[in-house]
């Protein structure tokens, strides 16, 4: 069995080779075929996406946990990760280097004290996790699922990298860093109102057998998760997202496509 050091050396060799070579055409076409929402982007955006993914691969370090990181795995993650910053720039991800990839979902042990001081422990199953100024963890199984679940607005890579964007100012509050207090107040007013309305729909669906929400109900957990879940849908199924959340569509357009 290969050691962690062996995997690290293999990754360093892989990275060094790709610093000197562009993404091969055949590999790029395979990834586009795996993720139709990428292939559906306009030609100019696909070209920029490819360039940005190449830069992402040169700057980041992938670590497989029980999984060998192949070119296809790394590029699949990179191409999706850079989609949110396509018009913003890769510097939005300069607070971290590592990306840890597991074959499937992982179980994390959680512990939290309530307001009375009682400590509660529980297990949480994760498809991904983003740490403030730290690495991003992803389940490869869930990354692959994004290729055929985009109609649902599902994408674990975009979800976790949206958290990284949100946490750029150190506060996971559903509001990325913005240029002014006025802009931040307008953003919070919009997203908090949309989150409250969405949370109400989720409660009706769960408690009173109401119509299930199209957007993942996990977004009701908090405005930070709502932002990440909404970003998934905004990038992989923009037509349905616009129908469901027109105020958010306008808000996100203004942030993610400032030069469009």
Interacting residues of 142 by C-beta distance below 8 A, sequence separation 6+: 104, 105, 127, 128, 156
Taking the CA atoms of the chain, what radius of gyration do you get in angstroms?
A: 19
Residue 238: the pLDDT is 97
Residue 167: the pLDDT is 96
Report the relative pairing of strands 119-126 and 128-130 from DSSP bridges: unpaired
Residue 236 near residue 229 (C-beta atoms within 8 A): no
∠ CA(251), CA(218), CA(82), 5° rounding? 50
Residue 198 near residue 174 (C-beta atoms within 8 A): no
| Annotation: CATH topology of 4-256 | Cyclin A; domain 1 (1.10.472)
The packing angle between helices 71-81 and 43-59, to 10°, is 120
Residue 234 near residue 215 (C-beta atoms within 8 A): no
**pLDDT one digit per residue (tens) for the chain, 260 residues:** 344 445 444 545 555 555 556 899 999 999 999 999 999 999 999 999 999 999 999 999 999 999 999 999 999 999 999 999 999 999 999 999 999 999 988 766 545 555 665 554 545 668 889 998 899 999 999 999 999 999 999 999 999 999 999 999 988 999 999 999 999 999 999 999 999 999 999 999 999 988 999 999 999 999 999 999 999 999 999 999 999 999 999 999 999 998 75
Indicate the pTM of the whole model: 0.88
Residue 118: the pLDDT is 53
Q: How far is CA 136 from CA 77, 139, 240, in A?
A: 11, 10, 28
Give the residue among 158, 149, 153 at the shortest CA–CA distance from 217: 153
Distance between CA atoms of 150 and 146, rounded to whole angstroms? 6
Distance between CA atoms of 162 and 236, rounded to whole angstroms? 13
Q: How far is CA 169 from CA 67, 92, 177, 181, 231, in A?
A: 33, 11, 6, 13, 18
Distance between CA atoms of 243 and 46, rounded to whole angstroms? 25
Residue 4: the pLDDT is 40
Return the SS3 of 115. coil
């Amino acid at each position: 069995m290969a050691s962690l050091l062996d995997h690290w050396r293999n990754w360093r060799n892989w990275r060094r080779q790709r610093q000197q070579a562009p993404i091969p055409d055949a590999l790029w076409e395979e990834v586009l075929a795996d993720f139709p929402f990428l292939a559906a982007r306009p030609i100019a955006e696909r070209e920029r996406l490819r360039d940005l993914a190449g830069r992402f691969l040169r700057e980041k370090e992938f670590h497989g946990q029980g999984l060998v990181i192949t070119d296809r795995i790394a590029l699949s993650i990179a191409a999706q990760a850079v989609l949110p910053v396509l018009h913003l720039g890769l510097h939005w991800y300069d607070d971290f280097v590592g990306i840890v990839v597991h074959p499937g979902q992982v179980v994390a042990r959680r512990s939290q004290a309530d307001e009375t001081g009682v400590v509660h422990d529980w297990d949480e199953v994760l498809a991904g996790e983003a740490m403030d100024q730290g690495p991003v963890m992803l389940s490869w199984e869930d990354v692959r699922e994004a290729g055929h679940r985009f109609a649902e607005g599902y994408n674990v890579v975009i979800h976790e990298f949206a958290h990284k964007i949100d946490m750029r100012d150190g506060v996971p509050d559903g509001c990325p860093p913005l240029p002014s207090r006025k802009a931040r107040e307008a953003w919070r007013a919009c997203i908090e109102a949309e989150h409250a309305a969405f949370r109400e729909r989720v409660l009706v669906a769960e408690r009173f057998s109401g119509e299930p929400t199209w957007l993942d109900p996990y977004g009701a957990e908090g405005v930070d998760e709502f932002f990440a879940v909404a970003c998934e849908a905004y990038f992989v199924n923009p037509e349905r997202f616009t129908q469901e959340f027109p105020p958010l569509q306008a808000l996100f357009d203004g942030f993610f496509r400032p030069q469009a």
